[in-house]
């Protein structure tokens, strides 16, 4: 992983769209089935929209039926960080970019083999670098 990325609130607002800012910096969630990458089958690497860190490979993406792009593992254990999220009366595990602390989504223990995990991410927090680009 490259060096930690820190920016002011004003710098993030200038760089990101309103939806990207809401999701990544305010821990928001896009509406299900509306995100750009929910149905994407394009081969490539999913990067953090905030800092460009490589997060997920397209060959770990699967259709979870939840309305958000889902992956069974991150590109590496160092790419993401996790912490307990008890907002809205639920207990979940939040997933963040390890490089810039942007909110990506949540991970659940109901995914497919080989990990049994479902990294349920917001399209607004990701940028797809297509294979060959």
Per-residue model confidence as pLDDT tens digits over 36-54: 999 999 999 999 999 999 9
Q: How far apart are CA 33 and CA 9, in angstroms?
A: 28
Q: How far apart are CA 8 and CA 51, in angstroms?
A: 13
What does the pLDDT read at residue 85?
82
What does the pLDDT read at residue 87?
78
Residue 89: band (very low, low, confident or very high) from pLDDT cuts 50, 70, 90: confident
Q: Distance from CA of residue 48 to its chain's centroid?
A: 7
Q: How far apart are CA 17 and CA 3, in angstroms?
A: 24
Residue 90: band (very low, low, confident or very high) from pLDDT cuts 50, 70, 90: confident
| Residue 50 appears among annotated catalytic residues | no
Q: Mean of the per-residue pLDDT values for the chain?
A: 94
In this predicted structure, the answer to whether residue 133 has a pLDDT above a threshold of 70 is no
CA-CA-CA-CA torsion sign (83, 117, 51, 31):
negative
Residue with tokens 């999220």: 85
Active-site residue, from 48, 97, 100, 120: 120
Residue with tokens 């770990």: 60
Complete edge-to-edge strand list for the sheet that includes strand 92-97:
61-62, 70-71, 118-121, 103-108, 92-97, 80-85
Percent of the chain scoring above 90 in pLDDT:
89
What does the pLDDT read at residue 1?
57
What does the pLDDT read at residue 61?
97
Domains of the chain: 9-130 (2.170.150.20)
Range 20-43 average pLDDT:
96
In this predicted structure, the answer to whether residue 102 has a pLDDT above a threshold of 60 is yes
């Amino acid at each position: 992983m490259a060096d930690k990325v820190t920016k002011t609130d004003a710098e993030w607002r200038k760089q990101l769209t309103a939806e990207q800012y809401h999701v990544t910096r305010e821990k928001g969630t896009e509406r299900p089935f509306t995100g750009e990458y929910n149905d994407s089958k394009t081969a490539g690497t999913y990067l953090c929209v905030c800092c460009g860190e490589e997060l997920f490979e397209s060959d770990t993406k699967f259709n979870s039926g939840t309305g958000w792009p889902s992956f069974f593992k991150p590109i590496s254990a160092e790419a993401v960080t996790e912490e307990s999220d008890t907002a809205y009366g639920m207990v979940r595990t939040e997933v963040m970019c390890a490089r810039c602390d942007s909110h990506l989504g949540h991970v659940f223990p109901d995914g497919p083999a080989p990990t049994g995990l479902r990294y349920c991410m917001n399209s607004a927090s990701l940028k797809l670098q297509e294979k060959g680009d």
